[in-house]
Structure formats: C-alpha cells, structure tokens
A and B are shown apart, each in its own frame.
Chain A
C-alpha cells in the first residue's frame, strides 16, 4: 500500500529540534522524501504499523503532529506533481 506521511514538529526548543531530526531520520528509513516534511512510502501494512509506532514514540503529542494519508494500491492516478524534485517510481524499473 501507499502511505503519505507528513509531520509538523515544534522547533522552538532544543528538544523540539532534536525531535524533528529524529522524526525525519525515521521517515527516511521507510519512505522517499518528496518534500521537506512529506514522505511517500510504498510499504506493507505490518511494516507500516511498526513505523507508526516508532514515530509516535519520538514526538511530543502536546506540541507536534503526524498525519498519515492512505492512498491504497492504485495510488498512481491519485498523485500529481508540478515543478522541481520529481520522485522515483519505487515500483517501476530502477536502473542506475
């Protein structure tokens, strides 16, 4: 399935900046960074639960927020991109 993860981490404090870094690092592990705080993940549901759990442990629920958008399996016609930074089609042919 395809999940979009976005987050907002309050960075007014030192701890906040630390959390932001940790959240970003965790998201990079599982998905593709398409914008600064937006990640696209092509991921198995079970694996995704794991990510969700690990992210929840990092954030401060009073100050930060996480949003998950479930786009299912037929996501290709649900995403449109304009401008720079095109993404890599992770299920397509990858040759470098």
Chain B
C-alpha cells in the first residue's frame, strides 16, 4: 500500500512558492519563511492569490505531486497536472464503459449503495452514542427508510431510476442532519443543503470540506491512471470532475459530514469565525479555515481497517484504495466494484 505523505497548505495570500534544488521554498516579500524537501509531500494546496514558479510546477509534475489552486473561500480554481500518465488502455475502457448505460448503471449502483449504507450508519452511530439526547424514534424511522432504499437499489439497473432513489435517500438523510448537531445550536443549524454561495455556517463548512475531499479523490484517481472527468453516475460536463464526484458519494457522509459535525460538537469552530455578506453568502475567516485544515490533516492520519482490503490504512488513503479497486474493476480483474462500507 502506498504511504500517506503530507500536504502543504498555503493560506497566506502574499506567499510565493519556488523551487531550490529538491526543496519547495515559501517566500514572503522575497524572504524565505519555509523550506521542505519535495519527497515528503504528495500535494500542495494554495488559497488566494499565491503564485508558484514554473520550475516548481515542473518539479511537481515530474514527482507526481498535485498542485492545486483555490480561491480564498475554498472554491476550486484550477489544478496543475503534468503529462497525462497512467494506462491508455485503462482510460479507454473507462470511456467505453461510461458510454454504455448498462455498465454505467452497474457501477453507479454500487456508488449509491455505498453512499446510502454509510449515511445510514452515520445515523445509527449517533443513535448508539447519544441515545438520550436525540429523538431516537425519528432517527430510527429515517434509518429504516434508508434500509428500504438499499433494498430497492440492489435490484435496480436503470440509471435514471437510480438517480431518483439517490435523491430520495439523500433528502431523507439531510432531513435529520440538523438533529446530529448537538452543540452551539443557536449558530449552527441545518435546514437544507445550499451552495454557490452557502447561506449558513454549516453549509459553508460542508462546501469547504467537500472541495477538499474532491481534490483528494481526484488526485487519487489520477494516480491510479483513471480520468477524474469521465463519470458513470454524474454526467460529463466541462470542468466537472464527474468521476471524482461519483467516487465521493460513498465518502461524503462518513468522511466529510462526520468531520464537520465533530468540529461543531466539540466546539472546535464557533460562530465568531463566520461572516455573513450582503448577498446572504456566508464565508469563514482565515483562522477558522486554518483550524479546519489542520484538523482535516489530523483526521486523514487516523487509522482504520479497510472493510474490503482488510488492511490497516490511514483515512487519507481511503480515496486511493477505492480508486485502485475501481481501476481493477474497470480492467476486469474484479467482477464488481466494492464500495467503501463503513460501520
């Protein structure tokens, strides 16, 4: 299994990234503030108007380090990708399969099964841990509905129908998301999912964390040689990493949503870190963003036993493990794609 390396996050807008020998050097006002060897990194994520020298870009491309640019608020702006790598045959098979509705549906079904199974267990976990503080009957009902959806989906091979089931299950899950917020209820509440722009604190955090996750998943797909832009469940659209979004479905609830919930419930973030703009959009301040990033990085280092591989890996390698399994399935080495099922 691959080793999880570190990611460098650059949040100061006046920093410039350059290359010196085998080191990445961070400059501020032409003074060196940090220097670290490239072989310790697997990704660089920058926020705001930071620049990187062409020499560094070249070195990143060569060493397979993802270099990703985001806006200050965490919206994806672009990514620097080197030469197209990986296996042409694999990628062609992927394109071929995505054109075919039946094979697409088979893969999409497993992504959705994973998604709903995991959402269900996020709810079941909450019931187990906080039975006295939650409306157990209401949560049990949603969990039951999700189990039903799982049964319906198991037998379904129609892409449109699958999308319908998925939407239904997602709205079921989000209908009780607010119940899972146990602390700081006055400033952190969840009515519905909204984005571009997020209209409340919880949605602002969700959007930010989803962007981080998409980026991790897209680079994981890239490393195994798949094209993150050609999906099975999500339709192709210019500039949208559809396959990354497909693969993310099963990780959203266990990886991102639970992470956001724990930040709120453990009072790691608080209301003062959020600003509401005139148009209703909510943005986070720099300190909150930094806190989230450092906790995110810590979370990625936590270990778990992968349910399918039965190997102990870090959470941060889960996207990679799933991409690898997907590649094997597309290549025909695995009969079906095994979604990541968390309990």
Which residues of A pack against B, CB within 8 Å?
25, 28-32, 41-44, 47, 88, 90-96
Contacts and interface: CB of A to CB of B under 8 A. Distances in A.
Contacts of B336: none
Contact of A96 (B9, B20, B39): B9
A93 B11 CA distance: 13
Interface of B: 3, 6-12, 15, 20-23, 26, 33-37, 39-40, 290, 293-294, 297-298
A96 B10 contact: yes
Contacts of B7: 94
Contact of B33 (A47, A91, A96): A96
Contacts, number: 58
B21 A95 contact: no
Given A42-B40, A88-B34, A96 B21 contact: no
Contacts of B290: 95
B3 A95 contact: no
Given A28-B21, A44-B3, A95 B9 contact: yes
A9 B297 CA distance: 40
Contacts of A96: 8-12, 15, 26, 33-34
Contacts of A29: 21-23, 37
Contact of B8 (A25, A30, A91, A94): A94
Nearest to B39: A47
A91 to B, nearest CB: 6
Contact of B11 (A30, A47, A88, A95): A95
A95 B293 contact: yes
B23 A28 contact: yes
Contacts of B37: 29-32, 41, 90
Nearest to B5: A91
Contacts of A25: 21
Contacts of A41: 37
Contact of A93 (B10, B39, B294): B294
A43 to B, nearest CB: 7
Contacts of A32: 35-37
A76 B293 CA distance: 23
B37 to A, nearest CB: 5
A91 B314 CA distance: 14
Contacts of B26: 96
26 contacts: A28-B20, A28-B21, A28-B35, A29-B21, A30-B22, A30-B37, A41-B37, A42-B40, A43-B39, A44-B3, A47-B39, A88-B34, A88-B36, A90-B6, A90-B37, A90-B40, A91-B6, A92-B6, A93-B9, A93-B298, A94-B9, A95-B293, A96-B8, A96-B9, A96-B11, A96-B33
A90 B36 contact: yes
Contacts of A90: 6, 36-37, 40
A30 B39 contact: yes
Contacts of B33: 96
Nearest to B15: A96
Contacts of B11: 95-96
A93 B293 contact: yes
A94 B39 contact: no
Nearest to A47: B39
Contacts of A30: 22, 37, 39
B1 to A, nearest CB: 14
Contacts of A43: 39
B17 to A, nearest CB: 10
A32 B22 CA distance: 12
Contacts of B297: 92-93
